[in-house]
A and B are shown apart, each in its own frame.
Chain A
Amino acid sequence: MTDKGEINSPNSLHMIRRGLLTGFPIMLGYLPVALTYGVLAKQAGMSLTELTLMSIMVFAGASQFMAVNMIAVGAGALEIIIATFVLNFRHFVMSLSFMNQLRDFSLRWRLPLSMGLTDETFAVSAVNPNESKMEKGAFFYGAIIVIAYLSWIFGSLLGGILGDVIPEKLSQSMGIALYAMFIGLLVPSIKKEKRVALIAIVAMLINALCIQIGMSTGWAIVAGTIFGGMSGIYLLKEGRK
């Protein structure tokens, strides 16, 4: 691109840089979690190739932890795969929302971006909706996903190689990282629009209630997201925020 001076059409490199910067907190949250996954997977008897391949091909933290636990206790393949489906079905709802946000992008872009959707990449992308209307905005979302994906894979591999390198107290403290990131993403939206807080609280309560009545974590989050989101039909008056 030669139009250097034009602020309204930032080039792809600029978008990539912005995306990496925006996605940086995900890296911060993923590395310790991926490291822990690598350690546990190794202890469960998986080889370095297997545990890294799982991160490359599945790229879904919670279900990988669950799979490692199930492999360790000798659960069957089908059982593990079904449990994974249940746990990750929430990504369908998130992807529907994300793809609606990216509706102006061609399928050539939407398809790879949808593959990189996790709770975290979705959350970060969704609170940054402006780039979806910008030229080359796909590079912004692509960069968020790439930094997350690479941290996840690299962290898993490192955990498998090094074993327990982070002191237990510190690694336990780092368990709050992703929750803090979610809070850090939610609060600015609340400051802009108070009703967002209501939507989130409704979702929290539905989620907590579903867990109370014995639903699995996966379905409880799905229920909280779908029905909590419905409160937005009444609360968000004019179009999307």
Chain B
Amino acid sequence: MIFLIIIGMSLVTMLPRVIPAFIVEKMQFRPWLNRWLGAIPYAALGALIFPGILSVNPEEPHVGMIGGLVAIGLAFAGLNVVFVVIGAIMTVFLFSL
């Protein structure tokens, strides 16, 4: 039963990922479409960050918010992503003490 679930999940996850690999070659993208696809990463990042970040500590949404603000600060200071991540983890940890 679980194997069936895994195979089914694998298929429905794989297809949306793989289909674009075949179709980009055949499509002649117009400039506006290229700009749209070029903006997708930034839009995706935005949608992945907020409001999901508020659920880091579901009972206290401000904890995720503060962790996020620290991450923004560290990233603006030019720190490598690794240190941005570590800094945010430490912030949230301190707040949960």
Contact = CB atoms under 8 A, between A and B. Distances in A.
A203 B20 contact: no
Interface in A53-87: 53-54, 57-60, 63, 67, 71, 77-78, 80-82, 84-85
Contacts of B52: 179, 217
B31 to A, nearest CB: 7
Contact of A84 (B13, B56, B86, B90): B13
B40 to A, nearest CB: 4
B2 A50 contact: yes
Given A114-B21, A169-B97, A211-B51, A200 B43 contact: yes
Which of B7, B46, B49 counts the most chain A CB atoms within 10 A? B46
Overall SS of chain A's interface:
helix
Contacts of A202: 43, 46
Given A99-B24, A229-B36, A199 B46 contact: yes
Interface string A163-200: 00000011011111101111111111101000010011
Given A24-B82, A173-B96, A180-B87, A84 B16 contact: no
Interface string B35-60: 11111111111111111110011000
Contact of B38 (A50, A77, A103, A240): A240
Given A203-B44, A235-B39, A71 B84 contact: no
Contacts of A187: 72, 75-76
Size bracket of the B interface: 35 or more
Contact of B53 (A179, A200, A224): A179
Interface stretch (A2-10, A90-98, A132-140, A150-158): A90-98
Overall SS of chain B's interface:
helix
B1 to A, nearest CB: 7
B64 A179 contact: yes
Interface residues of A, number: 98
Given A77-B5, A179-B67, A204 B47 contact: yes
Contacts of A200: 42-43, 45-46, 49
A240 B49 CA distance: 22
A141 interface: no
Contacts of B57: 172, 175
A114 B45 contact: no
Given A50-B2, A114-B18, A236-B35, A90 B44 contact: yes
A189 B75 CA distance: 11
Contacts of A82: 12
Contact of A99 (B21, B64, B87): B21
9 closest cross-chain pairs (CB), A and B? A232-B39, A240-B38, A200-B46, A224-B47, A228-B43, A126-B41, A180-B88, A187-B75, A203-B46
15 contacts: A84-B9, A92-B17, A94-B41, A99-B20, A103-B24, A115-B14, A177-B89, A179-B64, A179-B88, A183-B49, A184-B75, A189-B42, A207-B46, A226-B43, A233-B36
